[in-house]
Amino acid sequence: MARLTINGKTSEVNVDPSTPLLWAIREQVGLTGTKYGCGMALCGACTVHVDGKATRSCVMPVSAAVGKKITTIEGLATNGTLHKVQKAWVDNEVPQCGYCQAGMIMAVAALLKDKPKPTDADIDKSITNICRCGTFQQVREAIHAAAKA
């Protein structure tokens, strides 16, 4: 049994402590916005915030997440108001299939917290998520739009 704090709520999860955080979030807590893409921290579809840092949850064991503040895509909006990154994503119509976008948005939200006005070089360095539909052109535009918001 491990106690996780996700989106401000505490959940008791009954899993082997080596279970990746991703699967505790999806299968125990029932938040499926965070996606499985590769299981090797290569694609970023599983990105969540752990103590405010963008973290690939598919390789982080539950045991390492205990006592930390975890935010998933479902917890990014506050009181029903979209986060500025989500809003920029809607305005710029970024998603195509959308499967990778939760992870992409979480990675971008963490970047903007660190660097409110990121340059293209900052974006290139920080955003390494895979998108097979190829939304990168809109992702870049939306990041700059969110930075101005």
Partner 1 sequence: MTTKTPKLNRRSFLVGTAAVGSGLVLGLKIPFGTSVVRAQDGSPEINAWVVIRPDDTVVIRVARSEMGQGTLTGLAQLVTEELECDWSKVTTEYPTPGQSVARKRVWGDFSTGGSRGIRNSHEYVRKGGAAARIMLVQAAANGWGVPASECSAANSVITHKPTGRTTTYGKVAEAAAKLPAPAAAEVSLKDPTEWKIIGKPVKRLDTLGKVTGAQVYGADLKLPGMLNASIKECPVFGGKVKSFEADKVKGMPGVKHVVQVRDTAVAVVAETWWQAKTALDALPIVWDEGPNAQVSSATIAETLKAGLDAEQAFVRNQNGDVKTAIAGAAKKVEAVYAYPFQNHAPMEPMNATAKYTPERCEVWVPTQNGEAAFAATTAASGLPADKCEVYKINLGGGFGRRGAFHDYVTQAVLIAKQIPGTPVKLLWTREEDMVQGRYHPVMQSKLVGALDDKGNLTGLHMRLSGQSILTAVFPQNLQDGRDNLTFQGLDPSGDFAFGYSVPHLLIDHAMRNTHVPPGFWRGVNINQNAIFLECFMEELAQAAGKDPLEFRRALMSKHPKHLAVLNAVADRAGWGKPAPQGVSRGLAQMMAFGSYVAACAEVSVTGGDKIKVRRIVCATDPGYAVNPAQIERQIAGSFVYGLSGLFMEECTVKDGRIEQTNFHTYDSMRIAQMPKVESIIMPSGGFWGGVGEPTICVAAPAVLNAYFAATGKRIRTFPLKNHGITMV
Residues 88-127 that bind partner 1 (CB under 8 A): 89-90, 93-102, 105, 123-125, 127
CB 46 within 8 A of CB 58: yes
Is 144 a residue that touches partner 1 (CB under 8 A)?
A: no
Is 40 a residue that touches partner 1 (CB under 8 A)?
A: yes
Is 146 a residue that touches partner 1 (CB under 8 A)?
A: no
Backbone angles phi, psi at 131, to 5 degrees: -130, 110
**What's the CA gap between 49 and 109, in Å, rounded?**
9
Is 37 a residue that touches partner 1 (CB under 8 A)?
A: yes
Give the bridge partners for 6, in sequence order. Answer: 9, 70
Q: In terms of CB distance, is 55 or 72 closer to partner 1?
A: 72
**What's the CA gap between 41 and 98, in Å, rounded?**
19
Site string (45-74) toward partner 1, x via CB under 8 A:
x--------------------------xxx
